[in-house]
Amino acid sequence: MSADILLEVRGLRTVFDTRAGQVCAVDGVDVTVNRGECLGIVGESGSGKSVTFASVMGLVRVPGRIEAGEIVFDGIDLRKLSAKKMQAMRGRDIAMTMQDALTALNPALTVGEQLAEMLAAHADDLPPGRMARRAAIRARAIEMLTRVGIPSAGERLGQYPHEFSGGMRQRIMIALALAAKPRLLIADEPTTALDVTIQAQVLELISALRAEFGMSVVLITHDLGVVAQHCDRVMVMYAGQVVEEGPTAQVIRQPRHPYTQGLLASIPRPARRGQPIRPIQGQVPELVNLPPQCRFLERCPLADDACRHPIDMRPAGPERRARCIRITTPDIEKGLSHDI
């Protein structure tokens, strides 16, 4: 493993046993996160973004299980760690903010108590002595809440999660995740519930802390504009697989996979005012008993019989890969050119 790599996932396969059969939510996913970088993860709803990173965190619960794959964080094989050691790593080394802030926060503890618990367990630069330590924790908790844009933070420490709005809860969860200064922050749709100004504020905070602490970030989002602005590299997921990855600017300017091209064509942009937005036709396939063929076949404008077998990721330029047999054909070369 190269010294620059913080997280390396190889061949991850996570399944859910359901009445309809085995749902293969993540099927052979590889992820590399370098130290200090921001990796964006995009893809339609149900493509396996959250399950991939819940697997990394060791948070997949019955009826789900990791069936195969390696998850190595800073040289440590996470799948071989005891539940206790994994628990200690969560929060301190890797933190994840969940899509659903209400279920992720503890309803029985005040926001101040939850932040204090996190800081007491993981902050290693607190002063000695009980009183000084308590004062430092309180000051740090107020600072974190203020930095995520919660006004009158000192007064709100004594309130419970249900006393905050959805957007506020999202911000509290981000403050909690950042409190321990983890080496890797996985932010799952961190700004979906927030208004535009607060969105920008939260993303700026994440970027600032990334620079301040050399933290790596995985940003899961539907918003390609956010990816364009904040992520060094991007990984596009479709139906449980990675279909394209590479440096953000290149992927956005010249997407190689027809699915990525479709995603980009479906966003409204001022530069294309007056032109129709073209949503991708059709739907993501059910992840049960998938036929052995390209998963995008039913929706792909370039599909033909050659696509009726499983397709591997293949090189698509320097530092780029995509899962499509047509990568080097003129059809895709001419592709679409995008500026976000």
In 123-152, where does DSSP find H-type helix? 130-147
Nearer to ligand SF4, 114 or 241 (CB): 241
- Give the pairing type, strands 233-238 and 241-247: antiparallel
311 binds ligand SF4 (CB under 6 A): yes
- 302 contacts which partner out of Mg ion, ligand SF4, ligand ATP, none, CB within 5 to 8 A by kind? ligand SF4
Which position among 12, 115, 325, 338 is part of the footprint of ligand SF4 (CB under 6 A)? Answer: 325
296 binds ligand SF4 (CB under 6 A): yes
Q: Hey, CA dihedral for 102, 108, 114, 120, is it positive or negative?
A: negative
Cis peptide before 63 (omega within 30 of 0): yes
- 325 contacts which partner out of Mg ion, ligand ATP, ligand SF4, none, CB within 5 to 8 A by kind? ligand SF4
Which position among 29, 49, 177, 202 is part of the footprint of ligand ATP (CB under 6 A)? Answer: 49
- Give, as ranges, the residues between 223 and 262 that touch ligand SF4 (CB under 6 A): 258
Nearer to ligand SF4, 27 or 223 (CB): 27
Concatenated DSSP letters of 239-260? TTEEEEEEEHHHHHHS--SHHH
> Judging by beta carbons within 10 Å of its beta carbon (0-12, 13-18, 19+), is residue 10 exposed, middle or buried?
middle
- Give the pairing type, strands 184-188 and 233-238: unpaired
Return the C-alpha torsion angle 287, 28, 40, 328, nearest 10: -100
283 binds ligand ATP (CB under 6 A): no
Listed residue (271, 146, 266) closest to 201, CA to CA: 146
97 binds Mg ion (CB under 5 A): no
Question: Which of the stretches 74-82, 128-136, 198-206, 303-311 binds ligand SF4 when contact is defined by CB under 6 A?
Answer: 303-311
280 binds ligand SF4 (CB under 6 A): no
Count of residues that interact with ligand ATP, criterion CB under 6 A: 16
Angle 303-340-314 (CA atoms, 0-180°, nearest 5)? 40
Question: Which of the stretches 15-23, 80-88, 200-208, 327-335 binds ligand ATP when contact is defined by CB under 6 A?
Answer: 15-23
Which position among 32, 47, 50, 52 is part of the footprint of Mg ion (CB under 5 A)? Answer: 50
300 binds ligand SF4 (CB under 6 A): yes
Which position among 25, 150, 180, 202 is part of the footprint of ligand ATP (CB under 6 A)? Answer: 25
99 binds ligand ATP (CB under 6 A): yes
326 binds ligand SF4 (CB under 6 A): yes
Q: If you count them, how many residues does the chain have?
A: 340
Identity of the amino acid at 141? A
Cβ pair 42, 267 in contact under 8 A = no
Nearer to ligand ATP, 114 or 221 (CB): 221
- The residues near 212 (Cβ < 8 Å, ≥ 6 apart) are none
Q: In a 3-state reduction of DSSP, which class is residue 68?
A: strand
Residue 220 has φ and ψ, to the nearest 5°, of: -95, 125
Q: Give me the residues that bind ligand ATP (CB under 6 A), please.
A: 16, 18, 23, 25, 43, 45-51, 63-64, 99, 287
- List residues binding ligand SF4 (CB under 6 A): 258, 294, 296-297, 300, 302-303, 307, 311, 324-326
Which residues of the shown chain bind Mg ion in the complex (CB under 5 A)?
49-50
